[in-house]
Amino acid sequence: MALLRGEGLTKKYGAVTALSDVTVEIQQGDIVVVLGPSGSGKTTLLNLLAILDRPSSGRVFLNGQEITHLPDPEAARLRNRNFGFVFQFFHLLPELTVRENVFLPLWIKERQASGLNGYRRQAEELLARFDLLGKKNAYPAQLSGGEMQRVAICRSLICQPQVVFADEPTGSIDRQAAASLLDLIGRLNQQQTATFVIATHNEIFLQIATKVVYLKDGRIERTEKTKIT
């Protein structure tokens, strides 16, 4: 059984069809790279799979359970517990310190202020693994692009999600930072069997992909399983 499955996903914005009848399957431990030019529907596909948006038609399943039309509070809880997000522009909360940004999803999950010390400790452990402990009290504006992206990855992992969605994760960082990000995702996937769905037009991700979905004009052009699998 697939970990995550999108079935016949279609998304229309008025007369414009952003995604048309797309079916994808993601297995535990996969690194699925969704490749395609701008406007091909990569972000739309990610948003639908992560139930940040609802499809015009089609269904999404997580561990065989349909999650397409969950009521908002349940969808929010499911996103918090099962999905992590890494965005092109990092999307860290500028008002929060690095450590606060990282443990925020854990606080949302547990909903107990009494556990704050524990959340801080877990965030610090994660930051230490990513060589960011020294920056725990810094604000996002005080970090480099690469550092911000690593903080975003820490945040995406704090709740030990089943799937991490990354939307153009190298879009705002230099080549060197992109290379270390690639390495990091590969290591996380191997060490923790973390599952990644990466929407990108940067072909360097093909090096670590287990599956590649080529999108064009909102449709799947082709799907490839790579030899890494």
Please give the residue ranges that form the binding site for other proteins (CB under 8 A): 47, 50, 52-53, 72-73, 75-77, 79-81, 85, 87, 91-96, 104-105, 107-109, 111, 113, 139, 141, 155, 159
Cβ within 8 Å of residue 192, ≥6 positions away: none
Q: Shortest distance, CB of residue 111 to other proteins, whole angstroms? A: 5
3-class DSSP assignment, residue 154: helix
Our CB check for other proteins shows the closer of 15 and 72 to be: 72
CB of 134 to other proteins, least distance (A): 19
Q: Backbone phi, then psi, for 166, in 5-degree steps? A: -125, 120
Least separation in angstroms between CB 116 and other proteins: 8
Is residue 169 within 8 Å of residue 192, measured between CB atoms? no
Residue closer to other proteins (CB basis): 159 or 209: 159
- 50: tokens are 């992560």
Nearer to other proteins, 83 or 205 (CB): 83
Q: What are the counts of helices (DSSP H) followed by strands (DSSP E) for the chain? A: 6, 10
**34, 1 in Cβ contact below 8 A?**
no
Q: Which residue's CB is nearer to other proteins, number 81 or number 206?
A: 81
Measured distance CA(25)–CA(103) in Å, rounded: 30
In whole angstroms, the minimum distance from the beta carbon of 189 to other proteins comes to: 21
